[in-house]
């Protein structure tokens, strides 16, 4: 590029910053990752205007502020004045590209899911094994909206709860869910490494709770999910007599390319209790509303959208539908 102090500013220089320089171009982050309006290229042979340079500079600042990336302080040119070289443009754009998965803040948690997320009736009978299957479906308007949501730092969170009482199995499951899984928060992000609102996320991240999951898919994120369900989280009960019991989440999307629907299936499994006089049955209880948990076994999925201070909402309002069986 000819872009240097004392040289002429050419359309090819400007266009390289906007779209043509691999990785170190604005549109690779601003438009492709975040879904924001792409900056237009300058016409070759024509003057690059102060307005174009000001838009370029403003967009770099917005990207950096969204991410929390430190960039060079500079003043945008104004119409009628000689346009001087803006320092370190290429480096700042490249740093924003490197940090594109980060977000300095996030939006307000969405909790208005629909359907049923609680098993309010008893589960199991006698000593035999049983399962509860919770299905949570997150639907975006289209694939572009879904890509922008996750690209800009959106997160999907799944958590569990159970406090109902009445049987021996209730006591054990309450301990399992309450100490190991409850409110832990299993998060799906849009990248394998991202710092969002000051917290580090992998593809699948678990926060809170005790014990170590046998499966935690830290390299599985929105971008590499397929139509085939994959186990992204699985954790067994730590109680010696109940170590075959577990909670598991699988994730899949509705298309191997251009997906806009995420399906999370959570299975609670009890291997049964063959001890004389015991029962594997657990009781139902009161239902969960939003993220206010009742006493019944429950699995709730919510999300945190990207911030809207530096980005426009191009991801819309995803919906969440819940069922239990």
Q: Residue 307: what pLDDT?
A: 98
Least confidently predicted of 144-158, 169-183, 282-296:
169-183
The answer to whether residue 196 is domain-embedded is: yes
Domain of 154 in residue numbering reads as 114-324
Instruction: Work out the average pLDDT over 43-47.
Output: 82
Domain identity same for 229 and 170: yes
- A 10 A CB-CB count for 279 gives 17
Domain identity same for 254 and 167: yes
Domain identity same for 302 and 156: yes
- 195-252 pLDDT, tens digit per residue, is 999 999 999 999 998 889 999 999 999 999 999 999 999 999 987 778 999 999 999 9
Residue 316: pLDDT over 90: yes
The answer to whether residue 104 is domain-embedded is: no
The answer to whether residue 69 is domain-embedded is: yes
Residue 294: pLDDT over 50: yes
Residue 7: pLDDT over 80: no
Domain identity same for 45 and 186: no
Dihedral sign from CA coordinates of 56, 58, 63, 68: positive
Domain identity same for 58 and 186: no
Average pLDDT, the chain: 92
Query: Please, which pLDDT band fits residue 6 given cuts at 50, 70 and 90?
Result: very low
Contact between 78 and 54 (Cβ < 8 Å):
yes
Domain identity same for 69 and 141: no
Last residue in a domain, options 98, 130, 156? 98
The answer to whether residue 79 is domain-embedded is: yes
Residue 289: pLDDT over 70: yes
Domain identity same for 56 and 147: no
HSE, side-chain direction, 13 A CA sphere, residue 322: 24
Q: Residue 74: what pLDDT?
A: 80
Query: Please, which pLDDT band fits residue 117 given cuts at 50, 70 and 90?
Result: very high
Last residue in a domain, options 71, 98, 125? 98
Helix and strand numbers, DSSP H then E, in the chain:
6, 13
Q: Residue 49: what pLDDT?
A: 84
d(CA 215, CA 287): 29
Domain identity same for 94 and 125: no
The answer to whether residue 2 is domain-embedded is: no
The answer to whether residue 109 is domain-embedded is: no
In the chain, pLDDT over 90 holds for what percent of residues?
Answer: 77
The answer to whether residue 226 is domain-embedded is: yes
Which of 83-92, 205-214, 268-277 shows the highest mean pLDDT?
Answer: 205-214
Give the pairing of strands 199-201 and 204-206. unpaired
Q: How many domains does the chain have?
A: 2
The answer to whether residue 175 is domain-embedded is: yes
Domain identity same for 127 and 232: yes
d(CA 146, CA 252): 14
Domain identity same for 24 and 128: no
- For residue 203, how far is the Cα from the chain centroid? 8
Residue 155: pLDDT over 70: yes
- 25-41 pLDDT, tens digit per residue, is 999 999 999 999 999 99
d(CA 11, CA 9): 7
Last residue in a domain, options 35, 63, 98? 98
DSSP string for 141-166: SSHHHHHHHHHTT-EEEEEEE----S
Domain identity same for 219 and 283: yes
Domain identity same for 83 and 180: no
In the chain, pLDDT over 70 holds for what percent of residues?
Answer: 93
């Amino acid at each position: 590029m000819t872009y240097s102090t004392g040289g002429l500013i050419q359309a090819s220089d400007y266009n390289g910053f906007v779209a043509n320089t691999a990785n170190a171009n604005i549109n690779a982050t601003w438009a492709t990752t975040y879904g924001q309006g792409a900056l237009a290229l300058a016409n070759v042979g024509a003057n690059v205007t102060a307005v174009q340079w000001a838009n370029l500079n403003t967009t770099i600042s917005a990207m950096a502020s969204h991410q929390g990336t430190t960039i060079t302080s500079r003043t945008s040119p104004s119409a009628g004045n000689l346009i001087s070289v803006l320092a370190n443009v290429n480096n700042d754009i490249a740093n924003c590209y490197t940090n594109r998965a980060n977000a300095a803040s996030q939006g307000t948690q969405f909790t208005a899911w629909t359907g049923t997320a609680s098993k309010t009736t008893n589960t199991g009978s006698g000593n035999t094994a049983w399962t509860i299957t919770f299905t949570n479906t997150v639907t975006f308007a289209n694939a572009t909206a879904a890509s922008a949501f996750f690209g800009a730092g959106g997160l999907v969170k799944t958590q569990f709860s159970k406090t109902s009482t009445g049987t021996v199995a209730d006591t054990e499951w309450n301990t399992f869910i309450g100490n190991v899984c409850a409110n832990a928060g299993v998060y799906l992000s849009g990248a394998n490494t991202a710092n969002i609102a000051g917290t580090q996320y992998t593809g699948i991240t678990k926060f809170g709770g005790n014990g170590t999951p046998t499966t935690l898919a830290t390299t599985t994120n929105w971008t590499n999910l397929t139509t085939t369900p994959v186990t992204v989280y699985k954790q067994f009960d730590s109680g010696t007599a109940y170590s075959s019991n577990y909670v598991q989440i699988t994730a899949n999307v509705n298309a191997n390319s251009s997906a806009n629907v995420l399906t999370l299936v959570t299975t609670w499994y009890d291997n049964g209790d063959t001890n004389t006089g015991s029962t594997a049955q657990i009781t139902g209880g009161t239902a969960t509303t939003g993220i206010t948990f009742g006493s019944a076994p429950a699995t709730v999925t919510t999300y945190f959208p990207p911030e809207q201070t530096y980005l426009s909402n191009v991801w819309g309002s995803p919906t969440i539908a819940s069922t239990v069986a």
